[in-house]
Amino acid sequence: MSQTVRAPSDRSLRARLADALGARFGVDTRALAALRISLGLLLLADLLLRARHLRALYTDSGLAPRAVLAGQYPAVRYSIHALSGAAWFQALLFVLAGLLAASLLAGYRTRTSTVLSLILLVSLHLRNPAALTGGDTLLRRLLLWGMLLPLGERWSLDARRREGAPRRRLTSVAAAGLLSQVVLVYAVNAALKHRGDLWLRGDAVRYVFSLQQFSLRLGDALTAFPSLLRAFDWFWLGLVSLSPLLVLSRGRLRTALTLMFAAAHLGMLATLRLGLFPLVSLAALLVFLPSPVWDRVETGVPASLERSAARVGDRVRSVGTRVGAGVRRPPPTVSRSLSTVRRAGRRLVPVVAAALLTFALVWNTVALGAVPPPEEEPAGLDLTQSPWSMFAPTPATVDGWYVAPGELESGERVDAFYRSAPLAGERPETRAMYPSVRWRKYLVDLRYSGDEARQRAFASYLCERWNRAHEDDLASLTVSYVEQPTRLDGPESTRRVELLQHQCRG
C-alpha cells in the first residue's frame, strides 16, 4: 500500500530558512558582551597611546594646526576637537572620552555610552585624518554597529538591574550587519590582493617585512627565512579568500576559521608595527564564536572572580543610585515623552541597520569596480576608494624616513627631527625612525601630499620643539625624506628628496 508524500508547507520552509539564517547570522549575547568589554579597553588604550603625542598631533602648536590641516582635509572644521587648538581643551575631551569608555567597559548605560563614545571618536578622527590607520576605521565601524545592538545584555551593570532572564542568542538585521561588516573587511581585501602580482607570487610578505618602518625585531629575524615568509603569504591570501565561510559555516568549522584568523592577527601583533589594528581585528572576531565556546568560557570563570565582579558592580550601582537620588525626577509628561522616543527608536533600529548594511555593500561593490559610482557621491565620500586596502593590491616597495639637518645660532649642525647630529642617510632603527605609528602615518602622507603649507607647519614645529628644549636656538633647517627602494636580494640604495628649506622665527 503506497503512501502519498506531501510537499512541505510554506510555513515549514520558512521556518527552516529562518533557522538556517539564524544559525549563521545570529550572535550569542555573551559574544556581544565580550565585544563591548573589548571596545571599552581598546578605546582606553587608544586614548593613552594618543595622549603621548597630544600636543604634536592635536593642537595648533603641533605639526598639524587646524587652519593648515583644513586646507587638505575640509572635514576638520566639523570636529568637536577643532573648537579649540589649546592642549588643555584636547586633554579635557580625552578625559571625557576615557570616562565614557570606562562606562562602556562596565556596561553602565551601555547604549548611551556607545553613542557618545562613537561621537567623540569620530570627532577625534576628523581632527587629524592624516594620522588614521585601518584599525581606526574598523573601530568606528564596530562602535557604529554596537550602537544598534544590545551590548549590555550580559556581563554588565545594566544586566544586573534588569529583571527577567537575558536572551541567549540574538538574530536581527543589526547582528547580520555586524557579521557582514567584518567579513567585508577580509573579502574586499582579498579581492584587491588578487589583483597584485606580489601576493600571487608569494613575495608580498617578504616586502612587508623588509620595510623597516613596519617591521619589529621578530619580523626582522624572519626575513632570513624566505620560504617561511612565502608560506605565510599564501596562507594569509588563502585565508582572507575563504572569509565568507565565517558566516556561511557553522559549529566547529566556524570556530576553526575564527581561531586561524585570530592566530594570524596575533602574528601581525608580534612582528609588525600596525598600532591597534591587530587587537581591533581580534575584538571583531569574537562575535563569530558559537555558543558552545561561550558555555566553556562561563564554566571556566572562577566563582571568586564572579563574586568580586558582582561586589564591584553593586558598589558602582549604589553610588549611581545615591547620585541619582539628588537629581530631580522629570515631570510625568516628560517621562511619557521619553518612553515614546525610546519605543520609536527601537522600531527604527532594524531600518537603520538595513540602510547601513546596504550602504556598506554598495560602497565596497563600487570600490571593487563591480558597478559604476553614483554621479553624486554622498557627503563628499570617494566610494571608489576602499577603506580595506591594507597592503593591497601590493605592499609598498619603498621604505622611507625623515632627516632635518639644521644650523643653530652658534653655528653647530644638528638634526632637528632626531635631535642629534645630522644623519648621512643611513637607515635608523625602527623605533627611532618615527615616534609612533600615528607619526609615521602622518609624515608618510605628508611626503606625498604636495601640501607645502603642511610641510612648512611641520618644519615650524621642529623649530619650536628644539627651541623649547635647548638654550642654543635653531636658526634654520632643511626637511628631507630619504627613500630606499626594497631589493629582496642585494644592497639597497637610498635617495634623499628635499622637501623644503625653512628659516626659524626668533
Helix and strand element counts for the chain (H, E): 22, 7
User: 166 versus 236: which is more confidently predicted?
Assistant: 236
Residue 5 pLDDT exceeds 60: no
Q: Each residue of 366-380: pLDDT tens digit?
A: 888 877 777 666 666
Instruction: List pLDDT tens digits, range 91-145.
Output: 999 999 999 999 999 999 999 999 999 999 999 999 999 999 999 999 999 999 9
210 contacts 223 by C-beta, under 8 angstroms: yes
Cα–Cα distance between 327 and 337 in angstroms, integer?
Answer: 19
Angle between helices 277-285 and 134-146 (to 10 degrees): 30
Check whether 17 has a pLDDT greater than 90. no
User: In 137-267, which ranges are E strands?
Assistant: 169-170
Task: Count how many Cα atoms sit within 13 Å of the Cα of residue 413 in the half-sphere of its side chain.
Answer: 8
- Look at 91 and 301; give whichever has higher pLDDT: 91
SS3 track for 466-494:
HHHHCCCCEEEEEEEEEEEECCCCCCCCC
For the stretch 489-500, pLDDT in tens is: 877 788 999 999
Give me the DSSP letters along 62-121: TTS-HHHHTTT-GGGGG-GGGG---HHHHHHHHHHHHHHHHHHHHTSSHHHHHHHHHHHH
Q: What is the mean pLDDT of residues 197-218?
A: 92
Note the pLDDT of residue 387.
Answer: 84
For 23, 48, 335, 434, 444, the CA distances from 480, given in Å and listed in that order, are 56, 30, 62, 14, 12
Q: pLDDT (tens digit, 9 = 90+) per residue, 142-157?
A: 999 999 999 999 999 9
Q: What pLDDT, on the 0 to 100 scale, is given for residue 323? A: 46
Range 71-98 burial, b when 16+ CB lie within 10 A, else e: ebbebbeebbbbeebeeebbeebbeebb
| Other CB atoms within 10 A of residue 324 CB | 9
Cα dihedral 270, 276, 279, 281 in deg (nearest 10): -110
pLDDT on residue 487: 86
> Region 160-176: what's the mean pLDDT?
85
pLDDT band at 254 (very low <50, low <70, confident <90, very high): very high
**Nearest 5°: phi and psi at 273?**
-90, 90
- According to the 3-state scheme, what is the secondary structure of 1-31? CCCCCCCCCHHHHHHHHHHHHHHHHCEEHHH
The whole model's pTM is what? Answer: 0.90
CA 88 from chain centre, in angstroms, equals 25
Beta bridge partners of 498: 480
Confidence of residue 305 (pLDDT cuts 50, 70, 90): low
- Backbone phi and psi for residue 244, each to the nearest 5 degrees, phi listed first: -60, -20
Cα(first)–Cα(last) distance of the chain, in Å? Answer: 107
Residue pLDDT, tens place only, 323-342: 445 545 556 664 555 556 56
Is pLDDT larger for residue 357 or for residue 421?
357
Q: How far is CA 417 from CA 266, 432, 449, 474, in A?
A: 32, 10, 19, 12
Contact 113, 102 (CB under 8 A): no
Query: pLDDT, tens digit, for every residue of 274-295?
Result: 999 999 999 999 999 999 999 9
pLDDT reported for residue 450: 86
Residue 13, C-alpha cell as written in the block: 520552509
